[in-house]
Structure 1
Amino acid sequence: MTATTTANSDAVKFAYWVPNVSGGLVISKIEQRTSWDIDYNRKLAQIAEQAGFEYALSQIRFTAGYGADNQHESVSFTHALLAATEKLNVIAAVLPGPWHPALLAKQVATISHLTKGRIAVNIVSGWFRGEFQAIGEPWLDHDERYRRSEEFIRVIRGVWSEDNFSFNGAYYRFENYTLKPKPLAPLPEVFQGGSSRAARDMAARVSDWYFTNGNTPDGIRAQIDDIRAKEAGTGHRAKIGVNAFAIVRETEEEARAVLNEILEKADPDAVKGFHHEVQNAGNASPEREGNWAKSTFEDLVQYNDGFKTNLIGTPRQVAERIVHLKSIGVDLVLLGFLHFQEEVEYFGKHVIPLVRELEAAKEREAVAA
């Protein structure tokens, strides 16, 4: 069975986390046949493209911690992966504060021309206070970080689409600025993450895509319903991406055994340090409901609560769960893996075709009804 690319724009899309940061995607001493170097990542991008993945997301980190001792910069790494592929869209994660929107707008416009418009951006409002302090960047209050991110998005969109662009915000000011060349049409997609009230409100106003941490279907549905209610009457509609850590094996017992080994070999000191940092960030929102606010130790062994989404089992079990996520409003699944190259290839051969079959069956049922 091989992966197929569907022309159906409603088909659920697949993305993978780019391991441009060392340590893999779990805070565990289990073997991870994954490397953060460029040769491994070029090959991985080519495998993913052939496997039916449409997107990859590069990570942004500035300092070491929680097993991530080395970090390649996201925008330049994204460009390298785009240069090694032909169809894959690569999303560069960026932090307002360290990046000025004029710089990012120009970087992305140039890369857009060099790669036939396949670059996108993920605007990360920030969760790692120590990282900001280490590089001398002010650490804003939770909701202020999202207000700055929203201005950042409005600015880059304005710069990409208008001449003589002017903007007078709390964080950014532009006066009659014209960027040339602008990115290729359509404009680069803008992604963002977060689970807090401020994150969802920002997504409902300005973002093309909203990434949420891993969660149960009921938890994800509640977030989507909230965003849709905020969007009502605005003409704006953000697409929804969900984090998941995939463990797909021939039997459910094999998949669960891998999960148990990851948890048994978790690095407790690193997980506790990460837990302290991210729960401070998650609880910093006024409603104390941001990312990681209710995550357990076991959840945090995977950086983005990916175990919660439960894509752990046989190819058919995982495919059925993905199609169920689609039925509640999920447009894209962002995946992490233990051994990226071989597991991305396996996922493309054994899961994505099943998803497409199940999607087609659902469409036939809808037409028949």
Structure 2
Amino acid sequence: MIQPNQKITFAYWVPNVSGGLVVSNITQRTDWSYEYNVRLAQAAEKSGFDYALTQIRFTAGYGADNQHESVSFSHGLLAKTEKLKVIAAILPGPWKPALAAKQLATIDHLTEGRIAINVVSGWFRGEFDAIGEEWPEHDQRYVRSEEFIRCLKGVWTEDHFSFEGKYYQFKDYSLKPKPMQKPHIEIFQGGSSRAARDMASRVSDWYFTNGNTTEELKKQIDDIREKAKLNGHKVKIGVNAFIIARDTEEEAQAVLQEIVDKANIQAVNAFGNATREAGASTTEGEGNWAKSTFEDLVQYNDGFKTNLIGTPQQIAERIVALKSVGVDLVLSGFLHFIEEVEYFGQKVLPLIRELEVKQQQQLTIQAKSA
């Protein structure tokens, strides 16, 4: 599973919506404003983060009363940074592939190849109903997303592109200029259902999964990569994690407990009900959050489950363990973003790099003795 000499990479959730990354009334020194997010992006870039992921919301809900649009906000952050790659979340439905392809190709040129896309198939029907968008049943949303991705790839890599799908059609279309990135702009997606994993195994460059234990993540990763191999495709894996790094384990656990104790109970329960309704429509009858407890749902994407909560040494060891089962990227959330991103870069990341070197040395020794 471990890629020789390949370092695990890090992304952070951009707080471009209000409320932070936990559904809790705990005090947070995190803000959804552009000014705060520029400072955060610059701090993350200096602290060793490779990617930032913007969120897409069209309506208020679960504490996110205000939301900046993802693509324009991503471009705004790229304009104020030098190395960071920003992943813009896009919903098929509100966006059409022709617009997304053109929009992102232009940003790619303006930022010298630092834009990426996260194709979000959608799980919250109320949002789509509110803006008058079609809401296909669960597996059909992934059919639509797969067509969306195939169209993006075609438009970005071919001239005279034609496509005849259920949701999208192109006829002899040539996009000029094409993106700077080759073969195309990086494409991310999320989801834990069978339909989501199968789509990733066919068309996506990156697959985001919800937080989970190392053992459960290994099952998902092995499944996706076996399917991808059969399809002649390769996909990298990112896992969601809410990181609470403190000087002592007691301090870190106390922060977690305070987040849960001050949870917005009404909002968490509403979120849980919506996700269960969405999960019931999947082929397997359960979705991303089917096995999530109340505590898990306080962090949107099961970030507590990944257990990156403790001292810098504990967190570094757990991240290297994630790498050993095939995780390529950790998608990170924090309570107080700027301070904690900087702490992570200063205290945790150097330990991770040291452990990676030791891990690689052990693999080399094992290979020589085999």
What TM-score comes out, normalization by structure 2 length?
A: 0.97
Amino acid in the other structure paired with 1:262:
I
> Which residue does the alignment assign to 2:98?
102
> Which residue does the alignment assign to 1:350?
347
Of 172, 175, 178, the match for 2:174: 178
> Which residue does the alignment assign to 1:210?
207
> Which residue does the alignment assign to 1:45?
41
Distance of 1:20 and 1:335 partners within structure 2: 15
> Which residue does the alignment assign to 2:277?
280
Distance of 1:236 and 1:281 partners within structure 2: 29
Counterparts in 2 of 1:35 and 1:122: CA distance versus 1, 3 Å: same
Q: How does 1:154-169 map to 2 (within 5 A)?
A: 154-169=150-165
- 8 Å CA contact 1:27–1:302 kept in 2: the answer is yes
Q: Deviations over 1:115-144 (max 9, x none)?
A: 010000000000110000000001110000
Segments of 4+ moved more than 3 angstroms: none
> Which residue does the alignment assign to 1:254?
251
Query: Does residue 196 of structure 1 match 2:193?
Result: yes
1:232 alignment partner, SS class: helix
> Which residue does the alignment assign to 1:303?
300
Query: Does residue 231 of structure 1 match 2:225?
Result: no
2:59 alignment partner, SS class: coil
Q: Deviations over 1:156-206 (max 9, x none)?
A: 010000011000000000000111011003211000000000000000000
Distance of 1:64 and 1:29 partners within structure 2: 16
> Which residue does the alignment assign to 1:325?
322
Query: Does residue 125 of structure 1 match 2:87?
Result: no
2:304 alignment partner, SS class: helix
Q: Deviations over 1:327-369 (max 9, x none)?
A: 0000000000000000000001111111100000111112222
> Which residue does the alignment assign to 1:22?
18
**CA-CA distance at 1:150 after TM superposition:** 0.2
- 8 Å CA contact 1:89–1:120 kept in 2: the answer is yes
Of 80, 84, 88, the match for 1:84: 80
- 8 Å CA contact 1:17–1:57 kept in 2: the answer is yes
- 8 Å CA contact 1:21–1:36 kept in 2: the answer is yes
Distance of 1:81 and 1:166 partners within structure 2: 34
**CA-CA distance at 1:290 after TM superposition:** 2.0
Distance of 2:280 and 2:90 partners within structure 1: 22
Identity of aligned residues (%): 69
**Structure 1 gaps, min length 5:** 1-7
Distance of 2:266 and 2:114 partners within structure 1: 39
**CA-CA distance at 1:9 after TM superposition:** 6.5
Amino acid in the other structure paired with 1:84:
K
1:90 alignment partner, SS class: strand
Distance of 2:280 and 2:32 partners within structure 1: 31
**CA-CA distance at 1:283 after TM superposition:** 2.6
**Structure 2 gaps, min length 5:** none
Amino acid in the other structure paired with 2:96:
H
1:221 alignment partner, SS class: helix
Q: How does 1:50-89 map to 2 (within 5 A)?
A: 50-89=46-85
1:351 alignment partner, SS class: helix
1:205 alignment partner, SS class: coil
**CA-CA distance at 1:234 after TM superposition:** 2.6
**CA-CA distance at 1:235 after TM superposition:** 2.2
Distance of 1:158 and 1:290 partners within structure 2: 30
> Which residue does the alignment assign to 2:239?
242
1:85 alignment partner, SS class: coil
- 8 Å CA contact 1:283–1:290 kept in 2: the answer is yes
Query: Does residue 34 of structure 1 match 2:30?
Result: yes
Amino acid in the other structure paired with 2:281:
A
Distance of 1:162 and 1:116 partners within structure 2: 20
Distance of 1:188 and 1:331 partners within structure 2: 18
Q: Deviations over 1:197-248 (max 9, x none)?
A: 0000000000000000011111111111111221233321110000000000
Query: CA-atom RMSD, angstroms?
Result: 0.9
Distance of 1:353 and 1:235 partners within structure 2: 36
- 8 Å CA contact 2:276–2:286 kept in 1: the answer is no
Distance of 1:213 and 1:327 partners within structure 2: 18
Equivalent pairs counted in the alignment come to 362
Amino acid in the other structure paired with 2:236:
K
